Chains A and B, each alone.
Chain A
């Protein structure tokens, strides 16, 4: 493993793993406490439409996926505001339609020029320097938003009706959380792939929630736990020549299993 660190692809993979884990820890915490896991899943899968579109038009994949994911986030925010009761049906619809659009655009693209599997299951070993800038930039934005609006976000997440009563624009913060989730999903696709991204946004967060007594602690701890899982998964992946995204998720699941077992033994 040590000699592997000489390779720039491995250095990139480790940096990407840390950046994405921290972003996933913070945003995953917001997704979980706001009960938006299904929404985030919908956004993740919808972004496949953006990948297909980008492939078809020859645009950068990150750009296509980001635009599509943010579009899906805005659409979901609008629908949730209007019709809260049937929102799960709409999300299911957006989820499927997004993926279908992706598949059709890839069909329409002449030749078979991209390995689409890498978007479904991640390709952390193929992270470029440009990707790292994108990931670092997004993490910086997330940190800025969370630090600047921590109290508003906390109030909206804990009790949105009360927050609204205290004059907070709950709709703005709800939409903001969804957009940041969409962008986090897009960078996490590079690491674990869009099929597995939800596990990354929930498993470390579940553990951290049980151990934290404030939202801030939960975000920080989630980031740390996600980093641990990602780097351990990466090591497994390298050592045994396994798909990186799946290794990370299985390591996370094993970690969760150990945590639950330890909890059970303690009580």
Chain B
């Protein structure tokens, strides 16, 4: 029994005159591992900000756990995109995690014992409890990302939203982050923006391609798309293109909903064009 945790209906959004999102419809169900891909400037971050209630909704509707986004914030854990900024800031790891509690606390100096216990628990969950008293700037990018996940877990969220969690992290660190997310996915819904197709194909069950309009792909049946057989095997956009090439000659089954299928391929194509463009650059 899966229940819709995020419902986006007929959503459009524009910055001044520039239309960023047009007629977006997305349903994220309970315990989905939902990935969002798309070119830069295609509206991914805007979509996240709208879902978090950081931007006002202009047209359409977003319901998070059945309520408007602002009212469900305490059920959402958010890991922002750029965790490498502000690394000079004099703050300890444990204090960063404790920021996760800040909204529901009375003001005053000092932290409660229960809060510290909770923050330490969240750090243990991401395997960072040993670093609690280190300065945040002394950690590596991957470690810092784990701390940000711990901060998001502090509020005991039902949905965890991450904006490019593995940008500027080494491959081993990326894999560890996604394994952690897979584990967290046992108990909560994960919504992640990422550029890394091969990782998404491995961990996500649904993918939305966002480029002004949105196309959602269900990829929960891994046997249909994922052709590598072990963790060490390499998979990048080249293999994907090759697979698509071979599939279109012999394994392609005629679709029952031909118009939707056509749209789907349009979306995929622009994604590859973008990644190819990035490679040549």
Contacts and interface: CB of A to CB of B under 8 A. Distances in A.
B92 A163 contact: no
A38 B103 CA distance: 30
Residue in A148, A151, A164, A217 with the greatest tally of chain B CB atoms within 10 Å? A151
Contact of B90 (A150, A166, A168, A215): A215
Interface residues of B, number: 31
Given A151-B102, A166-B102, A213-B92, A159 B80 contact: yes
A161 B102 contact: no
A161 B102 CA distance: 13
A165 B54 contact: yes
Given A152-B107, A166-B100, A158 B80 contact: no
A149 interface: yes
A156 to B, nearest CB: 9
B92 A149 contact: no
A209 interface: yes
A33 B89 contact: yes
A162 B107 contact: no
B108 interface: yes
Contact of A161 (B54, B74, B133): B54
B103 A158 contact: no
Contacts of B96: 158
Contact of A152 (B88, B90, B102, B135): B102
Interface residue range, chain A: 20 to 34
A239 interface: no
Interface in B81-123: 86, 88-92, 95-96, 98-100, 102-105, 107-109, 111
Interface of B: 52-54, 73-74, 76, 78, 80, 86, 88-92, 95-96, 98-100, 102-105, 107-109, 111, 133, 135, 151, 155
Interface of A: 33, 147-152, 154-155, 157-159, 161-168, 209, 212-215, 217-218
22 contacts: A33-B89, A147-B109, A148-B107, A148-B108, A150-B109, A151-B99, A152-B102, A152-B107, A155-B102, A158-B99, A161-B80, A162-B80, A162-B99, A165-B73, A166-B104, A209-B90, A212-B90, A213-B90, A213-B91, A213-B92, A213-B133, A214-B91
